[in-house]
Chains A and B, each alone.
Chain A
Amino acid sequence: MELKEKELVELAEKNYSVLNLGPTHPATHGIFQNVLKMDGEIIIDSEPTIGYIHRAFEKIAERKPYNQITTLTDRLNYCSSPINNMAWHMTVEKLINAEIPKRAQYMRVIIMELSRIADHIICDTVIAVDTGAATGYFHLFQYREMIYEIFEEICGARLTTNIGRIGGLERDFSTMAWEKIQKFMSKFPAALKEFDRLVTRNRIFMDRTIGVGSVSKEMAMRYSFSGPNMRAAGIDYDVRVMNPYCSYEDFEFDIPVGTSGDTFDRFMVRLEEMWQSYRIIEQAIAKMPEGRYYGDVPDFYLPQKEEVYSSMEALIYHFKIVMGENDVPKGEVYHSVEGGNGELGFYLISDGGRTPFRLHIRRPCFIYYQSYPEIIKGGMLSDAILTMSSMNVIAGELDA
């Protein structure tokens, strides 16, 4: 639906209407405001306003001890909060040079890949809903529910998980958690295949998505895209491969890459990534090493309860950790992970105090959402809605 330059100039002489899309609108799945300049149904220009749920995380983090910042990261991309939690833990572990046992790393990989699947389920099914196919949404959401039950079993929470600790995980997976993971692993492939058959080759779906909201390679680089959106544009950048963290180098998986960067490609990249995440989880379960689920990080990892009740040192450490009394080395560190929608990075400056001196969060959708006016320019309003849902813009992360 791209308009040619000449046609746009002709349109410039007409009268336009201004349409206020959002801040709360059922079709935008979150709090986004766009003031659109419209010529009939064609978008001439738009201006996004963000910040409706700004909670000043970067400022709050300057007051909180390192352990307590995990709860803030939950509320960034709340569709895949375990990835954010673990990205934060790994940042601090990098700062204090902590060694994490393989078992803890593999457990983290399982949790992160499960949450990536949950994130992509939401995004892909919502694209289908916006084109009018609601069945896939209700069908696959059962499996997202199963993932949330696994999280519930591991850490006790579903959405804002606060999963894991600096130095490892809070506890080993219980038998019940393993059973739930196995149940999910056995049932999910059939459901995903069914969803694929239901939606991907559907004529209406293809007509609505192919060629809509295209992003070229050049544009993706210029706007610092990352994650599935960037791969859909044809650039095979994945943090898991380029700068492996958490033992991702031990696993074999492919990076799906699109060609035209349109809504259909973004959908397909996410669909394939779910299969790849499934593969990684399979390998992690099969190769799960024996050992401890936490590293030797006494300054940050709470000692076991039995020890706290019986030994003096453990009690002291427990008290110090809870009060945020431990020394942290001075330094500045950047650590990034492949989040649900792109490269999620934490830039942390520590001055040796109990709290970070400065924490800057590289939020992927804050960076790529600014290209939205350029993408939807000259397209139809209904395509703009679809483009937004296929970009997986999460309000919590956008506004931090």
Chain B
Amino acid sequence: MLVNELGQLVQDKLTLNFGEGSSKLEYHYDFPVFIVSKDKLYDILTFLKEDKDLSFKYLTTMCGVQFPNAQPELEFGLMYQLHNMEKNYRIRLKVFMPKSDLNMKSITTIWSAANWMEREAFDFYGFNFIGHPNLKRILNMEEMNYHPMRKEYPLEDATRHDKEDKYFGR
């Protein structure tokens, strides 16, 4: 099935079940990407897993992202990637939220695999997954008091200027 056919199929189903405008469809290379609202995500994921035609039973991966230059309500995002192995459908879902409200319903009840993935997103970006059985840091040490993947923490020493873009004509 072509990517845009799959995108349209899922989009139609979501519109039928969650109302007009519940998801915004984009295409990125070989993936249809659906931008959905934060409070509907849990229900949409449950629906995509349970629906007979779609049956996205496999959570491939999920991760957090941050766009510091975007509008405040689109600053933080989460990406979920699902796979239907019988028909080889792959889709990606995204939700966006402002920095002031990083609460998100945990999907560990749908997929056990989300447990560590959510802990990783919490560790790196500070998302608060409501209903997670054991939400604590996973890769960094417990004592760490910030979320290191956020863009406000530069990778290198902030006093260092020799690698600034202006020296390279950018």
Among B31, B66, B113, B141, max chain A CB count under 10 A is at B113
- Complex interface: stretch among B4-12, B34-42, B53-61, B98-106: B53-61
CB neighbours (8 Å) of A51 from chain B are 137-141
Given contact pairs A325-B168, A332-B28, A367 touches B148 in the complex (Cβ within 8 A): no
The number of inter-chain residue pairs (CB within 8 angstroms) is: 88
The answer to whether A331 and B28 touch across the interface, beta carbons within 8 angstroms, is yes
Is there an interface contact between A334 and B31, defined as CB atoms closer than 8 Å? yes
13 contacts between A and B (CB under 8 A): A50-B138, A51-B140, A59-B149, A63-B155, A224-B60, A331-B28, A332-B29, A333-B28, A347-B81, A354-B170, A360-B63, A367-B116, A370-B113
Contact between B60 and A343, CB atoms less than 8 A apart? yes
Chain B residues whose C-beta falls within 8 Å of the C-beta of A366 in the assembled complex: 116, 120
A367 close to B85 (CB less than 8 A): no
Least Cβ–Cβ distance between B48 and chain A, in angstroms: 14
Whether A371 contacts B88 by the Cβ 8 Å rule is no
What residues of chain B lie closer than 8 Å to A399, measured between beta carbons?
Answer: 139
* Residue A308, interface by CB 8 Å: no
- Asked whether A323 is an interface residue with its Cβ less than 8 Å from the other chain, the reply is yes
Inter-chain contacts of A54 with B (CB < 8 A): 139-140
- Report yes or no: B60 in contact with A370, Cβ–Cβ below 8 A: no
Tell me whether A176 is interfacial, beta carbon within 8 Å.
Answer: no
A323 touching B168 by the CB < 8 A rule?
yes
Does the CB pair A62–B60 fall under 8 Å?
no
What CA separation (Å) do A243 and B88 show in the bound complex?
A: 8
Are B28 and A367 within 8 A (Cβ)?
no
Specify which chain A residues have a CB less than 8 angstroms from the CB of B124 in the assembled complex: 58
Write out the residue numbers on chain B whose beta carbons fall within 8 Å of the beta carbon of A367: 61, 113, 116-117
Interface-centre pick from B58, B88, B90 (highest chain A CB count, 10 A) = B58
Is A94's CB under 8 angstroms from B29's CB? yes
Contact indicator B139/A50 (Cβ below 8 Å): yes
> Which residues on the B side are within 8 Å of A242 (C-beta)?
85, 88
Residue-by-residue, is A338-354 near B (CB-CB < 8 Å gives 1, otherwise 0)?
00000101010100001
Q: CA separation between A95 and B113, bound complex, in Å?
A: 28
Nearest-Cβ distance from residue B17 to partner chain A, whole angstroms: 23
CA distance A331 to B28 in the complex (A): 7
- A235–B84 CA distance with the chains assembled, in angstroms: 13
Residues on the A chain within 8 Å of B63, using CB:
347, 360
Q: A50-B139, A51-B138, A221-B58 are in contact. Are A347 and B112 (CB under 8 A)?
A: no
A367 to B63, CA, bound (A): 12
Given contacts A54-B139, A59-B149, A370-B116, whether A362 and B60 have CB atoms under 8 Å apart is yes
A95 vs B140: C-alpha distance when bound (angstroms): 31
A60: interface (CB < 8 Å): yes
If the complex has contacts A60-B155, A358-B65, A362-B61, are A237 and B85 also in contact, measured as CB distance less than 8 A? yes
Q: A141 at interface (Cβ–Cβ under 8 A)?
A: no
A223 interface hit (Cβ, 8 Å): yes
The answer to whether B149 and A58 touch across the interface, beta carbons within 8 angstroms, is yes
Residues on A with C-beta less than 8 A from B46 are none
Instruction: Tell me how far the C-beta of B6 lies from the nearest C-beta in chain A, rounded to whole angstroms.
Output: 13
Question: Does A150 reach chain B (CB closer than 8 Å)?
Answer: no
Are B57's CB and A221's CB within 8 A? yes
Structural contact, B168 and A222, CB atoms closer than 8 A: no
Q: Which residues in B have their C-beta under 8 angstroms from that of A347?
A: 61, 63, 79, 81
Q: Is the CB of B58 within 8 A of A59?
A: no
* Cα(A325)–Cα(B167), bound, Å: 12
- Which of the residues A222, A325, A360, A369 comes within 8 Å of B112, measured between beta carbons? A222
Nearest residue, chain A, Cβ from B134: A47
CB pair A223 B29 closer than 8 Å = no
Cβ contacts under 8 Å, A323 to chain B: 168
Going nearest first, the 9 A-B pairs with the smallest beta carbon separation are A224-B113, A360-B63, A51-B139, A362-B61, A54-B139, A370-B116, A63-B155, A222-B112, A223-B113
Least CB separation from B61: chain A residue: A362
Nearest CB of chain A from residue B50's CB, rounded to whole Å = 14
Let me know if A8 is at the binding interface, CB within 8 A.
no
Query: Given A50-B139, A334-B29, A370-B115, 15 other A-B contacts at CB below 8 A?
Result: A51-B137, A51-B138, A54-B139, A56-B148, A60-B155, A94-B29, A221-B58, A222-B111, A222-B113, A242-B88, A334-B81, A336-B60, A347-B79, A349-B65, A400-B139
Q: How far is the CA of A256 from the CA of B138 in the complex (A)?
A: 34
Task: Find the B residue at minimum CB distance from A345.
Answer: B61
Chain B residues, Cβ within 8 Å of A94: 29
Which residues of A from 221 to 254 have beta carbons under 8 Å from B?
221-224, 235, 237, 242-243
